[in-house]
Structures are given as structure tokens and as C-alpha cells.
Chain A
């Protein structure tokens, strides 16, 4: 079949052809970018934190009328209170281990700083986040030590919340170790924190630990975490608790009464005991909502476009009844008629997707300049192109088959 008669036929329907092509182009551009956004959000939501998230939960509590924490004596008092809590929690039958910690990944409450390889260096540094924890950190959080050693009870200090002293030893993530010491010999090396002059020795490297913040501002240091062997003392505290396998709910239920028994002068509300699953859900709820919304919009958009193609093609079929009849009477088979409409749709859709690809790339570039977006991979565009062509073929099938069923005798009748 040659394209020539088809093109001259389409010329007589300029407006309709332009509209279908335009609709396909716009749909392609929007769906392509929307699916790219969905993909990005899914990648974000699925990235592992480095924790063993099952059976893990977090307790956040505040003492009422606690000492100020501004002088050494009150810091000591706060530490005693924290140690009492820890002892009580560690004694619970359903609890495997407990670590006092200032934050957890996805909690969006963080203490960030910078490390450098030279003392008093304020210019070249690596961003990092600090987790203050004790010797039970690795076992409770389920972190994998890949070099060096873990903290021992003797390493662990305690300090007031606003005490800016630097530790003498730390454990860093592989992300930091690789960046600071590309040769892979980070253990035993000395670093300096926050542009200060005190040497800090790396004693261990863990495989992976995400920073607490999930916003895009941490994108360039999302895995740069550092463990500091210290309990932070303030009028509030957080404890990460690992329940024994399968005993998560029982352990979570036991926490509130236990802590109230240790000291009733504190605030523990509904939000104080949260499983990590819940924390993860909360952290990414916005992303999930966005992905679902984009998905629904894409689906409806595709349906609308398909319905539009069906509608316009049906109209053309109706309009060309007589011509189809003439063709059939002159010897065209049903399949020829079917192919004619299918090829016609392919031609229009082809023009549409070419414009659509240009629009999609343009839209992506516009989004990149206004929002946090990266360049759309070619794969997405190609998939979308094939999907739109397939959509066009699927949509045109029903009216095209109706056309192929037009009997040759129509040619002799008036429309």
C-alpha cells in the first residue's frame, strides 16, 4: 500500500489530524515526565537506610522539671536519669537491646557538621551528620561493621546537649571513608571535626547509614554519617530499641508503663513510641502521595487520549462509508480496509510522538530549571513513544474493524 493516497486523504481533514497529533504529543510529554517523577520518588522511597528495620522502634520522651543541663552537676543528674531509663528498658523481657541516640534515619531531626583532614581547616571539608550513641549502637540498629572495631563500654562518654566538645574516636560510614581515604585505609586515621583542631581517630567503618534528614538539601551527603561514642544529656532523650524477633508489639506496649515507673515526672504521648516502619511511612508519605497522584493522572490522561482517538476515527469511518464501500466493491479485502485505518493512525501518531518527544524534552528542561529534577533518561522517552504508538493502534482497532465490516453494497447507496 502506498502512502500517497492516504496523505492526500488526510489533507482533507487537516483540523482533525492536527488535533489528534497534538493530543498524542501533549499526552506523551506529560506522561513521560510524570512517570519519570514517579520513578524518582520510588527510587527515593526504596533506598535502604542501612538499618535492620524489622523489630526496631524508637522511644522519645521528655522529663518535666528536669535540671537545666547548663552546668556539670545538672548534666550528671540528667545522665543518671538516662541510665536508669536504659537499665529499665534493657531489662524488659521482649527487648533484645537498647541504644540511647539523638536521632535516626528518616526522622528529620539532625545534628550536622563537617570533617576535614587537616586541623583548623574551614575551607575543604566533607559534610556529615552526627549520631551520638553508646556501645550497643551496632547491634541495636543492625549496622554492618566492615573494618576496625565497634565501641566498647569504656569508650562511651556523656555530655550536655550544648557542649560542643569533640570526641576522640568515631565510627564512620563507608561513604565518608571512601571519600576521605580513597585507598581504603581509613581505620586508625585522624580527622578533624567542624574546623576545630582536636584530632579524632576513626576506629571503625560501617557499610551504610543514612542521615536523618530526607530533604533534597542533604542529597550530596545522604550517606555521610558518623557515630560518636557519647550519651547526649538534655531534658529529653531518645532510645532506639530492638525487640526480640516477633515481639515488637509486646515490647512497644511495655515501654510506657516501665518508664513511668522509673520516673512519673515525664511526658510520653501517643507519638512517643513509634515503630521504624511507621517512621519510614511518615517520612515518605508525601513522596508516595505524589507518586500515586501522578500515576492516576497518567492513567486518566491515557484513557482520555484513547477515547479521543476512538471518537475521531469513528467519525471518519462514518464519513467515509461510501468511499469504503467503493473500495470494497473494487476488490479491497476487509483486511486492507483495517490496515488502511491502522496505518493512517500510525502515520498521525508518528507525527504526534515526534512532536511529543520534543515537547517532553522541553518540559523536562523547564522542570529542571524550576524544580529539583534531573535529565530524563532516553529509555523513558523511547518506552513512552512505543507506548503511545501502541495506544493509538489499540484505540483505532474498534472503529477500524467497523470500517472493514462496511459491505461493498454501500457504494451503490446514498449515505
Chain B
């Protein structure tokens, strides 16, 4: 029966090529446009660290003075040096890392390469195990390195390729800002999207090229990049940033046991109370502990233009569907005579309905295939856009399957009304008018 309906559908579609083409093109355009945008949205709102993100949290405390105080306001989105160090050394979570971004002048030993500036991340030892970064060679540094302000560095494989031709460079010396750093690790293929751990650098920027201990960067007056917010008589010179009333560091913790999340939140409240009692904080405790994905939401990481374009594409699909419903209705009703004969020969309403739905499914399938091709073209166009997320727009298996399912399901849905209407024809009336 299935094969027979399929054959009937093909025959019917071949009979009126222009109309069939119109329906397929409409479905394909709608599916192509909406799948392109949904894929971009899917990529951009994805999980940067699948499997690990549920255990990562971003503690926020409120060390500001009473100017512009509003109850329930969001605490600053970064921490001060003092709070960061206190929370880091308290070690109340399974792992914790304090960090900020910067840029370092790299002076290659090869004379063929000019010195160049590279983005860097100044952080603490737990960064690597906490974010589960893959290593090509070597490993991260230890807490002892943090404490002794060791001149050690972890570089990306990209920088390793540029400077050392991709060979194992651990143990080699890298000169940065006139200081010699020992390379302890080379990262493997790792590009978390979004750049969740520091959204000030741009939401979808690539990885920094060099990672070095935060303490060492302060020791050598490495230049910082990113956002700094001060209050009161803030805005000091760079040398006294450790004591300034400014937030400029990001602090992440890993809490693997869900039961301990409340404990950590209590710890933050307790810490704020203690700081207030000591006269360091002025506001009453105002703490938050968003998880990684929640943090991305709070920061509205997915660009609003992309959301807008997605809605536009879905609206477009809706118009294409209405269009297809109209055309199918016309097509099916035009065949009232043929359907009347089938009914008169004993086909049940249900059988006719099935036959017509099969026809819409075929249109949906062909539309889906063409739409998929269009989605690939669309994604190729998106990748040619200048925005920093553009390069990420790739189709994955989930979206590939979703495209087909969406195409067939929407077309079947679109076929319901026309098929139902066509089933209502009275066989006798149709036969008489022949």
C-alpha cells in the first residue's frame, strides 16, 4: 500500500510540474532560511563545556560603597583582588581559579620572526583541571608555582606551531616582556564557545595564546585587558591595583556535589557578613552563585540580531507553509473527480486521506533535501560575515536530522487541511459531473 501511494504521489506530482516545483521551492526556502538561523542560534547558545558545565559556578559578592545603593541590585560581575584572593585561598569549593585577561609582547628567539603581541590569560593553577583543558604536551602549573610567582607558561598549539613548528616545546624558554618563561604545557584542540570564563573579551573570541600565573603577571607588570569598574575614589595607577576599590578579576569555582552548592552560597553570605563586620564591605550581604549556563543567560551572550533573524526566518517559514497549504488545497480539490472515482470503487475516506498525505510527505521530503542544501549555502554566507561568531556556524548531526524532521513534519501538517477537505467530496456528485 505504502509503495502504491508513493507511486501515485509521484505520478500526480509529475503531472503538474510547475505547481509541484512551486510547492517544493516554497518549502525549501522556508526550511533553508529557518534551519540556517536555528543552526546559528543552536551553535551560539550551546554549552561551552558539555558534561562539565553543570558543576561550574561564578560567585558574585558586593564590595561596593553605599553610593547609588539599591536593594536587590545585581552584585558586580567581577571581583576585587582582595576578595578574589580571599575566596581563592579559602578553598571552599572543589576547585577554584582567579583570572584576568591581558596581552603580552612575545619575543621569538628566531630572528626570522618580529616580536608580536598576543592575548594572554593570567590565572591560577586550577584553571586547567577545572575547565578540563586537553593537553597536547606537558601539563598546567602547580599551586606552588602560583605562590612562588614562577615564570612558567602554557601555550596553545597554534602558538606552538608558529614558534616551534608543532614539536614538543615543553621545557623550552619563551621570552615575553623581556623575561624568560619556561613552557610547561601545550594545549590541545580546545575552543570553548562562548568564551564563557571572561565575557569582557568578546563573547565568541578565540582562545588566548599564552596562559601564565596571575601572580607572575602582577610581578612583571604585564598589561591587562578587559573591564575595570571602580567606585569611591577608585581609578588608581596600575601598581596599586591590588588594594584599589575596583573589580577587574573573574573568579570561577567547581562544585561537583549538588548538595554543596547551598553550602557555598552560605559561605559567600558569611564571608560578606564578616567583611562588613571588619569594615571592608558597606552593603549588607548580596551574593549570587549563577551556574555557567545561567551566567551566559545573565550576560545575554547570544546576540540580539541573531535572535531577531531567527524570528524573521520562522515567520518566513510560516508564510511559505501557508502558501503551500493554499497550493495543495487547490491541487487536491482539482482532482476531486479522480478521488471521487477512487471512492466510488471502494477506497475508504481514510485510504484517500493517506494517499494525499503521502503526496504532501513526498513534497516535504524533496523540499527538505533542497532546504538542507539551501541551509548549507546559508551557513556558508553566515560564515562570510565579519562577526566574531561567524566562523562557528557549522551544521552538526543534530541539526541535520532536525532539518529533515522539520521539513517532513511541517509539510505533513500543511497537508492535513487540504487532504481532509479533499476527502469530503461526495463520490456521486463527482461522477455525475464527469
Binding site for B on A (CB under 8 A): 15-16, 19-20, 22-23, 26-27, 29-30, 34, 37, 62, 64-65, 68-70, 122, 160, 162-164, 235, 265, 267, 269, 282, 285-286, 289-290, 293-294, 297, 300-301, 304-305, 307-308, 311-312, 314-316, 318-319, 367, 370-372, 414-415
Contact = CB atoms under 8 A, between A and B. Distances in A.
B327 A308 contact: yes
Interface of B: 19, 22, 26, 29, 33, 67, 105, 107, 114-117, 177-178, 221, 223, 235-239, 304-305, 307-309, 312-313, 315-316, 318-320, 322-323, 325-327, 329-331, 333-334, 385-387, 417-418, 421, 433-434
A282 B252 CA distance: 34
Contact of B305 (A69, A290, A415): A290
A304 B239 CA distance: 64
A26 B418 CA distance: 20
Given A297-B33, A311-B330, A19 B319 contact: no
A312 B386 contact: no
B323 A319 contact: no
A267 B116 CA distance: 6
Nearest to B236: A162
Contacts of B320: 304
B323 A23 contact: yes
Nearest to B19: A311
B323 A305 contact: yes
Nearest to A164: B235
Contact of A235 (B114, B223, B433): B223
Given A267-B117, A286-B305, A304-B319, A20 B105 contact: no
B315 A30 contact: yes
Contacts, number: 127
B385 A285 contact: yes
Contacts of A315: 330-331, 333-334
B307 to A, nearest CB: 8
Contacts of B29: 300, 304
B326 A311 contact: yes
B386 A286 contact: yes
Nearest to B330: A315
Nearest to B305: A290
Given A65-B105, A285-B386, A16 B316 contact: no
With most chain B CB atoms within 10 A of its CB, the pick from A29, A160, A305 is A305
B326 A301 contact: no
Which of B235, B237, B307, B334 has its CB near the most chain A CB atoms (within 10 A)? B237
Contacts of B304: 371-372
Contacts of A293: 309
21 contacts: A15-B418, A19-B322, A19-B325, A37-B308, A62-B117, A65-B105, A69-B238, A70-B239, A162-B237, A162-B238, A269-B116, A285-B386, A290-B305, A290-B309, A297-B312, A305-B323, A307-B22, A314-B330, A315-B331, A319-B334, A370-B307
Contacts of A235: 223
A51 to B, nearest CB: 22
Nearest to B322: A23
Given A15-B418, A68-B239, A290-B305, 11 more contacts: A15-B329, A19-B322, A23-B319, A23-B323, A62-B105, A64-B115, A269-B116, A297-B33, A300-B29, A301-B316, A304-B320
B107 A23 contact: no
Contacts of A305: 319, 323
A23 B315 contact: no
B238 A70 contact: yes
B113 to A, nearest CB: 12
Nearest to B313: A297
Contacts of B334: 315, 318-319
Given A70-B238, A286-B386, A297 B316 contact: yes
